[in-house]
Structure 1
Amino acid sequence: MDKLKMHTPDLADENFKKLASLFPNAVTETITGYDADGNAIVERAIDADVLRQEISATVVEGAQERYQFTWPDKKKSIVLANQPIAKTLRLDRKKSVGRDGTPGSIDTENIYIEGDNLDALKLLQETYLGKVKMIYIDPPYNTGNDFIYEDDFSLDTGEYLGNSGQFDEEGNRLVQNTESNGRFHTDWLNMMYPRLRIAKDLLSEDGAIFISIDEHEVGNLRKMCDEVFGGACFVSDVAWQRTYSMRNDVKGIAAEIEHVLVYGKQPAWQPKKLARTEKMDSKYKNPDNDPRGAWRNIVASAPNAATHQGMVYAIQNPITGEYAYPPQGRCWSLGQDFMLNAMNQWCDYELKNIHDDERRAEVCGVSTAEVRKDVLAIVLKGALAEAKQKALAKYQGVLPEFFFSKKGEGTLSRKAYINEVAGRPVTNFWSFEETGHTDEASRLLKELFDGTTVFDTPKPVRLLDRIITIATNTEDVVLDFFSGSGTTAESLLKMNMSDSGNRKYILVQINEETRLPSYANLCEIGEERIRRAGKKIKEENPLTTADLDIGFRVFKVDSSNMEDVYYRPADLKQDQIMMNIDNVKADRTPEDLLFQSMLDLGILLSSEIEETEFAGKKVFSVAGGYLIACFDFEITEETVTEIAKKKPFYAVFRDAGYANDSVATNFEQIFETYSPKTKRKVL
């Protein structure tokens, strides 16, 4: 039976193991210092010289010049991203809301986490690895007035595991980053880098991250994201028009936009198309009563004639008899066989050599010697007079897909049908008319809170509507770990309402204090906003929101459920080792242990949880029996047997929970009898 480690993974250790497995001959040991008694401290290491030989490539090290983006403490921020933490997420039932809005219920798939977002990301990284489709964050812009996280780079791994990471009882680790700070940019970069490193791992392979930022740090953020996600994964620097009017007393060049940096998890990430506007659709008519619906004429040519010479040829007009060619530098948009069939809808055509090399060379922009010599023309098979008579009759009815405009006197055009046209492409300019502005965001949030201003700089719901629309499908998970007032959640709820989707959100927000008498911190504001927004959506759309999940489970980042002896057994005395010591903190509940076990085993925090009793002991069944756990004391063989008979994938117990030594002795045999494939864990 295995013990759960009950802390986040040590990524540096995992990376070392990967290198060691690939290049075992590069593994060595080195002296890194000396202890108080003068004894050498020897640690594992990778021999760079051996590694260089193995990969047969240039390894840059030391002071050698190279292209790079760096700042003070960057190496420490990388270490911080990889360091494990002994923390957990504790459910707060009182703040939680069920999918139907019932207070205190946890029947929901949405998650709200209170606490340091670096800790939260580390706690989520195994369970949600590669499961998040879209991340949106609106971090501090570093304007000189913002609060940023003050991460501690000075702790070694042992201290970090045992430290709660909190500067006060509220978990507030924020400091104001003023422009007078000598580490103004450095502190901001050190805050962002480890969080982005972990966020990348949470993204699915077809996922993307969207980051709001202004001109203060957009340059540095772009360089940082190029390093974290890869320059090839850059998608766009979107200009969001955040305001609809400018003050006349603005000095210099007024800032009308903010940036939204977009990176895909993989190169060539593509956004979904946007819905077409009425103005765009108004261009489509049906003057000939085409049964295929409304259409508009488009050019029948495409660029790059010189490299597509086989698609540069003459097409004879059935009314004038003239030979039509693509415009200069362009070719016909479809192949010759297709175009021959299309022209046969007018009258009989055939392929024929009309010896027009000079004219085709002119269209292609090459010399006559360079133009292809084997390209035939599409010409009338019969007499022009007969073809003209048939063609004029066609203009009295439904026109074929390809036609000469102006009743045969114009250029060759093609019908584009409205029902075959995809949505409009996403551009890198998002106007306030379509995506909202800051005044709108503040006004609507104030209305939601009955006229009270609760948040100074909310993002408009319509901005998040745009992002969720182009970056998610109906079943995806969305993450926002600088969630502020909770705009992301409200937008997602409205999107699910409009398309009957089941998108899930994970929001993270630190307990930053407010000056409001009714709300002590931003978490209370965010949670109340989601409650109010969900209730409003339900009231305004009673017929379409019966199954809409407007709930959320509230979790708080806290120190581990386990006592320090769990992590530092060397501190125990011999007589303590012989005792059956419970290594769980006294104030922790079975539910606390359940969720830490779920995190450790990679089971989603939103999983369905059922409570029952086996032989008088409380038993949790998670995700339809995938995990069954019992954290009571005095567990008998009867309880163990009932759990084994359910054949769970995982079975988890408290290490000191057995009623007597006999139960502990027979535990493995019971599972071998009823469910040998079950993975048994203790904590």
Structure 2
Amino acid sequence: MSISRPEKLKMDTADVTAANIERIAGIFPNVITEIGDGNGNVRKGIDFDLLRQELSGDYVEGREERYDFTWVGKRRAIIEANRPIQKTLRPCIEESKDWENTENVYIEGDNLDALKLFQESYLNKVKMIYIDPPYNTGNDFIYHDNFTMDRDEYDEETGAVNEYGHRMIKNGKDRGRYHSDWCSMLYPRLKLARNLLSEDGVIFVSIGKEEIHSLIGMLNEIFGEDAFKNIIVIRRGIKNVQAQFETIDALNHGHEYLLFYSKNPDYRFKKYYIALESEDGEDVESTGSWNNHWRGTDRPTMRYEIFGITPERGQWRWSEERSLKAIENWNALCEELGNDPEIKDVDEWVKNNETVRNAKIDLLRLSRNNKPEHYIRPAEGKLASDLWLDLKPNGNHQLKRLFPKKLFDTPKSIDLLVRLIELSDAGDDSIILDFFAGSAATAHAVMQLNAEDGGRRKFIMVQLPEPCDEKSEAYKAGFKNISEIGKERIRRAGEQIRKEIEEENRQAKPGEEPKFVPDIGFRVFKVDETNMKDVSYSAAEYSQETIEGLVDNVKEDRTDLDLLYQVLINWGLPLDLKHEMEEIDGYTIHIVDTDALIACFEPNIPESVMRKIAEKKPLRAVFRDGSFRSSPGKLNIEGIFKTIAPETKLRVI
């Protein structure tokens, strides 16, 4: 019997410094480092220079020697992550599918801009992020985020600005900043992405051997080392170009990596099982089994009589009550199936009766050798490890089901992405984000899994309209850029899923519940410059002091929808909210999510219409400066809403 000793009373005060360091780590995990105390000891500390940089929009100099991960341009990458932009997302209904009903979003444009625009609308709302960024092989293009050069300077340096003016550069190994440019490209994007993850959110990043160490360094800094979960190994297609040579410089690479991090380092995940495989790689069906009910651990209280047997030593595995109930269940099974049923019949009986009773069923019998043994259910599969060689690199094969020609070099497997969604425990209404969307395999996987399990997960895809090579099959098929391929894949994959479900429903037996078609639509938005002529514009709270000086500064080519969605972004509302239009006395109003926001951008709105809008008592209301017939009319709106809808927040653009 162990002796319980009282806990020692701490005679010192609380370590306030350590507590403050932990608080700062929760906000800025990247500023936590290891610092020597001068006596050879290393402790957790704060990189104050880096913290200063986080709190400053300017370059901050001054470094002490310490352990950290750095590269040329790192500080400017931090500044870039924090730098505000004057951009917006313009809705593109003609390229969308089922705009009015869908909750999926596709963004065309620079993902750094998109991530900045998401910071309020999707803060702490994304359950899972998956990205497949450039691997930096020396042959791929990366984003070049140098905002200090004008267009002519950039053209002269790189020659890589495309027809849209996007910053793309071929990062060859002969460049002096080969690794640094890649790190500077990815770092601010990962930093902004972390803000979007929910507290139970996770991120998966695909990477090859070229930059895995750099990527680990960045993720450890941004998420914290304790947030690291796994390096998952997956198969990749092997090219046999080396076969033509007598000697080789290295073995072919038959695998790549997935780095797995959580936002909350303490978050724990459900056990994840993968299908059992036979020696030839085919899935096998598991069956139940029987196990000895006696065990050697010696607990006298667990020795009682069953089947006329009372052990003299050791113990039974279950309590007496549970064992007797399990014997009763076995007798009930034998009455239905006979005294010596096949194990598959036992499995089926247990499964059916557990469904009816909505409770777990134990079985306990006497074996042919007169030994009590209890039933073990069929294995759900084998517990997943970080070695995923069972998944085939079949992304190209899956894409060919939708497109007759090869349009994309290395699309990811839908099977892989479905597994990641399941592993992340992204359930109903979870948001899945991929900001290097490529062929939109992630969107395809979300729709496919929703079709299989009835989920309502939503996707957000972001892809730069990177031009297709004019010699490529994609260009010959009519696709000018990568984002066109991604959008068309979502359309075709959605229709394929719809047809498969409709066919299953036609073949369903009478009484079977029909499967429903998941959300296979998506809203398209394009990153663009602000809708306002004055680039220093930011939407301001309506007040009597500010409204006098407002002018109609909306660009001439912008529509009501352009204005509406810039308002949603500025107000921190998501892009998938239900949007309806209604007319009041001939004036069009936009209603977002019933009462979340009402907007009217019509000119010269009469007071009677303003009153009817106020009577709807929305949480927010927005108008443009030109909506008012006169300066007194501008001021009168405040009185109308204070009287009728005092809780409504007003803004004017």
**TM-score, normalised with respect to structure 1:** 0.70
Deviation of 1:642 (Å): 1.1
Are the aligned partners of 1:300 and 1:333 in contact in 2 as well (CA < 8 Å)? yes
Deviation of 1:132 (Å): 0.8
Q: Spell out the pairing of 1:359-378 with structure 2 (5 A cutoff).
A: none
Cα distance in 1 for residues equivalent to 2:176 and 2:294: 61
Cα distance in 2 for residues equivalent to 1:635 and 1:535: 43
Post-superposition Cα deviations, 1:511-554, rounded to whole Å, max 9, x if no partner, equal: 10002131110011111111111112222221366542211111
| Structure 1 counterpart of 2:552, from 570, 577, 582 | 582
| Distance change >3 Å, CA 260–CA 405, structure 1 → 2 | farther
**TM-score, normalised with respect to structure 2:** 0.73
Post-superposition Cα deviations, 1:295-337, rounded to whole Å, max 9, x if no partner, equal: 44278779xx9xxx98999999999987555xxxxxx896xxx
Are the aligned partners of 1:458 and 1:484 in contact in 2 as well (CA < 8 Å)? yes
Are the aligned partners of 2:111 and 2:463 in contact in 1 as well (CA < 8 Å)? yes
Are the aligned partners of 2:286 and 2:381 in contact in 1 as well (CA < 8 Å)? no
1:539 paired to 2:531: no
**Aligned to 1:526, what secondary structure does the other structure show?**
helix
Are the aligned partners of 1:177 and 1:184 in contact in 2 as well (CA < 8 Å)? yes
Look up the match of 1:94.
94
Deviation of 1:423 (Å): 6.0
Look up the match of 1:487.
441
Letter in 1 for 2:415: R
Are the aligned partners of 1:142 and 1:188 in contact in 2 as well (CA < 8 Å)? yes
Deviation of 1:584 (Å): 1.1
| Distance change >3 Å, CA 214–CA 284, structure 1 → 2 | same
Look up the match of 2:65.
65
Post-superposition Cα deviations, 1:406-465, rounded to whole Å, max 9, x if no partner, equal: 7257xx8653234xx666533211124xx331xx3223323411x222111111111112
Look up the match of 2:208.
214
Cα distance in 1 for residues equivalent to 2:607 and 2:216: 59
Look up the match of 2:642.
672
| Distance change >3 Å, CA 65–CA 563, structure 1 → 2 | same
Cα distance in 2 for residues equivalent to 1:649 and 1:678: 5
**Aligned to 2:576, what secondary structure does the other structure show?**
coil
Q: Spell out the pairing of 1:462-611 with structure 2 (5 A cutoff).
A: 462-471=415-424, 472-515=426-469, 516-517=475-476, 518-542=478-502, 543=505, 547-564=517-534, 566-567=536-537, 581-611=551-581
Are the aligned partners of 1:284 and 1:296 in contact in 2 as well (CA < 8 Å)? no
**Aligned to 1:656, what secondary structure does the other structure show?**
helix
| Distance change >3 Å, CA 413–CA 183, structure 1 → 2 | farther
**Aligned to 1:193, what secondary structure does the other structure show?**
helix
Greater Rg by CA: 1
| Structure 1 counterpart of 2:131, from 123, 133, 137 | 137
| Distance change >3 Å, CA 72–CA 589, structure 1 → 2 | same
**Aligned to 1:210, what secondary structure does the other structure show?**
strand
Identity %: 39
Are the aligned partners of 2:531 and 2:562 in contact in 1 as well (CA < 8 Å)? yes
**Aligned to 2:491, what secondary structure does the other structure show?**
helix
Cα distance in 1 for residues equivalent to 2:176 and 2:299: 65
How many residues are aligned here?
Answer: 530
1:78 paired to 2:106: no
Are the aligned partners of 2:580 and 2:591 in contact in 1 as well (CA < 8 Å)? yes
Look up the match of 1:109.
103
| Structure 1 counterpart of 2:412, from 447, 459, 467 | 459
Q: Spell out the pairing of 1:220-299 with structure 2 (5 A cutoff).
A: 220-243=214-237, 249=243, 252-267=250-265, 268-271=267-270, 273-274=272-273, 276-277=275-276, 282-285=285-288, 295-297=289-291
Letter in 2 for 1:264: S
Cα distance in 1 for residues equivalent to 2:118 and 2:618: 23
Unaligned runs of 5+ in 2: 1-19, 25-42, 49-61, 151-159, 328-338, 347-361, 470-474, 506-513, 540-546
| Distance change >3 Å, CA 240–CA 647, structure 1 → 2 | same
Cα distance in 2 for residues equivalent to 1:264 and 1:224: 14
**Aligned to 1:196, what secondary structure does the other structure show?**
helix
Are the aligned partners of 2:238 and 2:252 in contact in 1 as well (CA < 8 Å)? no
Cα distance in 2 for residues equivalent to 1:176 and 1:643: 53
Cα distance in 2 for residues equivalent to 1:590 and 1:85: 22
Post-superposition Cα deviations, 1:119-164, rounded to whole Å, max 9, x if no partner, equal: 00110111011111111100000000111110126489xxxxxxxx
**Aligned to 1:564, what secondary structure does the other structure show?**
coil
| Distance change >3 Å, CA 541–CA 314, structure 1 → 2 | closer
Are the aligned partners of 1:77 and 1:153 in contact in 2 as well (CA < 8 Å)? no
Q: Spell out the pairing of 1:309-348 with structure 2 (5 A cutoff).
A: 338-339=318-319
Are the aligned partners of 1:87 and 1:560 in contact in 2 as well (CA < 8 Å)? yes
Deviation of 1:618 (Å): 1.5
Letter in 2 for 1:270: F
Cα distance in 2 for residues equivalent to 1:207 and 1:187: 28
Are the aligned partners of 1:580 and 1:656 in contact in 2 as well (CA < 8 Å)? no
Cα distance in 2 for residues equivalent to 1:266 and 1:299: 41
Unaligned runs of 5+ in 1: 1-18, 24-55, 99-104, 157-165, 286-294, 326-331, 348-395, 570-576
Cα distance in 1 for residues equivalent to 2:479 and 2:300: 68
Cα distance in 2 for residues equivalent to 1:346 and 1:657: 76
| Structure 2 counterpart of 1:436, from 392, 400, 407 | 392
Cα distance in 2 for residues equivalent to 1:318 and 1:333: 12
Are the aligned partners of 1:493 and 1:534 in contact in 2 as well (CA < 8 Å)? yes
Are the aligned partners of 1:115 and 1:171 in contact in 2 as well (CA < 8 Å)? no
Q: CA RMSD in A?
A: 3.7
